[in-house]
């Protein structure tokens, strides 16, 4: 009998693909990486939006200076009821575009410059449209660039014994312009100018709880009240957007909407911009010296 050679049995072939345990390990690693990367990506996006906001503010401040140079050093007004819908953005928007044509800050006919008046971290409009329909989300210092009414008096402060003529300041009248807050992130209001647009007031009339403005009243006049601590924090407000004028309580103020509602970007009178911090209503990095206007 012929004997057959002995053969070693071939090892059993492993099924192709991953086992359940291996799949679970891979999924766990991916989930861990996502958990690590997402906050970093979110922080990077937030940082990019903050940088874009600062860049826009610098552009606006530079446009304000150009406007003043073309208008005998007079700064733009903040808002006027003489021509409804016209405000500082109307004026410097024309400067940015080098255009003397129609430009309305409260309608879609706002020109290509309108986009820079919309903070990338702010609430988006619920009204579909193009850049021309973006809500305007920055406000200006209401005494340096005030509201102007039909009688040239600020409509919010034209009553009482000593109403102040609301005229824009001249650029060279500002003392320490590098320290004066000129343009900044503003509180958005749901119903302004039409439902769904989350617009900010052109002028921050609630700034420092309006105490900045009443220079016609001796008890609130900085020059007659040297006890005011210029190094103390401003009243930063409740730091929230408003549903409407009557119920919001914080309309017309600064909005610290960056970095998780802790930072507001501010352009100063000399044209530079910086990020300022809100820790609580009476603890911010903006001081009285950044809000009160001396002289002029």
Q: Look at the block and give the residue holding tokens 């579909």.
A: 128
At residue 142, the pLDDT reads: 86
Q: What is the mean pLDDT of the chain?
A: 77
How would residue 141 be classed by pLDDT, with cut points 50, 70 and 90? very high
At residue 17, the pLDDT reads: 62
pLDDT above 70 coverage of the chain, percent: 66
Residue ranges of the domains in the chain?
23-290
3-state secondary structure the chain: CCCCCCCCCCCCCCCCCCCHHHHHHHHHHHHHHHHHHHHHHHHHHHHHHHHHHHHHHHHHHHHHHHHHHHCCCECCCCEECCCCCEEHHHHHHHHHHCCCCCCCCCCCCCCHHHHHHCCCCCCCCCCCCCHHHCCCCEEECCCCCCEECCCCECCCCCCCCCCCECCCCEHHHCCCHHHCEEEEEECEECCCCCCCCCEECCECCCHHHHCCCCCCCHHHCHHHCCCCCCCCECCCCCCCCECCCCCCCCCCCECCCHHHHCEEEEEECCCCEEEEEEEECCEECCEHHHCCCCCC
At residue 155, the pLDDT reads: 45
| Mean pLDDT of the region 55-72 | 94
Taking the CB of residue 3, how many other CB atoms lie within 10 A of it?
Answer: 5
**Does 247 have pLDDT greater than 90?**
no
Highest-scoring range by mean pLDDT, 134-148, 189-203, 237-251: 134-148
Highest-scoring range by mean pLDDT, 7-16, 74-83, 214-223, 236-245: 236-245
List phi, psi (to 5°) of 74: -80, 130
| Mean pLDDT of the region 168-174 | 86
At residue 154, the pLDDT reads: 47
| Mean pLDDT of the region 248-274 | 93
| Tokens (6 digits) for 233 | 């924090």
How would residue 163 be classed by pLDDT, with cut points 50, 70 and 90? very low
**Beta-ladder partners of 267:** 183, 273
At residue 280, the pLDDT reads: 95
At residue 4, the pLDDT reads: 58
**Beta-ladder partners of 257:** none
At residue 41, the pLDDT reads: 67
């Amino acid at each position: 009998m012929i004997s057959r050679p002995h053969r070693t049995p071939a090892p059993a072939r492993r099924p192709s693909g991953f086992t359940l345990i291996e799949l679970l390990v891979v999924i766990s690693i991916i989930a861990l990486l996502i958990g690590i990367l997402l906050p970093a990506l979110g922080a990077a996006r937030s940082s990019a939006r903050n940088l874009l906001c600062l860049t826009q503010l610098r552009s606006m401040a530079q446009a304000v200076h150009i406007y003043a140079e073309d208008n005998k050093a007079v700064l733009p007004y903040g808002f006027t009821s003489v021509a409804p819908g016209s405000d500082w953005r109307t004026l410097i928007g024309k400067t940015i575009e080098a255009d003397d044509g129609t430009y309305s800050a409260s309608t879609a006919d706002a020109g290509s410059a309108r986009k820079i008046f919309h903070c990338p971290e702010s609430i988006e409009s619920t009204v579909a449209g193009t850049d021309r329909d973006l809500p305007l989300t920055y406000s200006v210092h209401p005494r340096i660039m005030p509201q102007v009414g039909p009688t040239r008096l600020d409509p919010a402060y034209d009553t009482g014994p000593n109403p102040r003529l609301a005229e824009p300041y001249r650029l060279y009248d500002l003392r320490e312009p590098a320290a004066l807050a000129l343009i900044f992130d503003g509180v958005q209001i749901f119903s302004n100018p039409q439902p769904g647009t989350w617009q900010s007031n052109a002028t921050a009339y609630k700034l420092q709880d309006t105490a900045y403005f009443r220079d016609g009243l001796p008890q609130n006049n900085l020059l007659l009240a040297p006890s005011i601590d210029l190094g103390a924090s401003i009243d930063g407000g409740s730091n929230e957007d408003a549903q409407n004028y009557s119920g919001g309580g914080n309309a017309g103020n600064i909005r610290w909407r960056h970095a998780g509602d802790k930072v507001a970007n501010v352009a100063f009178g000399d044209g530079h911009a910086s990020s300022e911090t809100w820790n609580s209503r009476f603890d911010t990095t903006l001081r009285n010296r950044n809000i009160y206007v001396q002289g002029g």
